[in-house]
Copies of this chain bind each other. A is one copy, B any other.
């Protein structure tokens, strides 16, 4: 089969790779219907995470089940399925507590920018759609495999409630999906922090009520101006740098919450400042699996359309172009069709 492999920063190639097979009796193999490039793939592509050897890349996928192992009970060949980038058993204490991305048996599902993917713990990991989806739903369902689930978790971790004032730091696909999540959770005011006009437009379409173009201290000052001087109830940190974390912390009111979903690539969190801020903080790799049933329903109902974050679609053959387009910020997020 064909699959993308990263060799070095800036060097992603489509290659012939062996077809995945059932390794454990709880595995499934799926034929990928759509996959995509994630902001976190860019950490490797930009050399911020080291690339020590050629590595199959990509962790977002929707597809049709091709084959299942002997112990798979609920997932069946022919089903259209969505899964998270972390396989999970859906039965361990952490899964039962709502954190499948901390499953005691979790396993990263990598190499998904490919024609086929092996998914471990298929019964726990994959969720089948109620019907075969119409083609126009596929991008939104693909978004559920990471960015929409991650945006949702940012809002949930920041305890967005009906009536909340929310600020979203980051206008990538996750930040934009976080706007959708804040709207669905009933936020009254949603301030998207973005200086890119096409992303601002999409944020407004997704439910943002205000746009703030300033960043850093100026951005914090604008949020304070807009919130009686005290800060937002909930701030969704969807970037992952030390600067974006400080911007988020300082934009939150005492007693408010920051949900942080960008993988931290920056300074540690200043303990004393966090202490005096009275801000609550929760982050992590989103427990995507936990929210899939709900988000699939919202997608089939047409209440959310996170697939709009894909502003470029390319054949899998052009995976190198997909990375370049996102690296150069010419695209918010690129969908790849095998």
Contacts and interface: CB of A to CB of B under 8 A. Distances in A.
Interface of A: 93-94, 97-99, 101-102, 104, 157, 228-230, 242, 245, 253-255, 260, 263-264, 266-272, 274-285, 287
Given A274-B281, A282-B278, A283-B274, A254 B97 contact: yes
7 contacts: A93-B253, A99-B255, A260-B275, A264-B275, A269-B271, A274-B281, A276-B285
A269 B272 contact: no
A173 to B, nearest CB: 19
Given A94-B253, A102-B278, A267-B268, 9 more contacts: A93-B230, A94-B230, A97-B254, A97-B255, A99-B254, A263-B272, A264-B275, A278-B283, A280-B281
A contact patch SS: mixed
Contact of A101 (B242, B278, B283): B278
Contacts of A99: 254-255, 278
B271 A266 contact: yes
A260 B266 CA distance: 23
Contacts of A263: 272, 275
A289 B277 CA distance: 17
- Please give me the 3 A-B residue pairs with the lowest Cβ-Cβ distance, nearest first: A102-B254, A264-B271, A280-B282
Contacts of A285: 275-276
Given A93-B228, A271-B266, A280-B281, A255 B104 contact: no
B278 A281 contact: no
Contact of A255 (B94, B230, B279, B281): B94
Contacts of A230: 93-94, 104
Given A93-B230, A284-B276, A271 B253 contact: no
A97 B253 contact: yes
Given A93-B228, A230-B94, A277 B284 contact: yes
A278 B104 CA distance: 13
Nearest to A227: B93
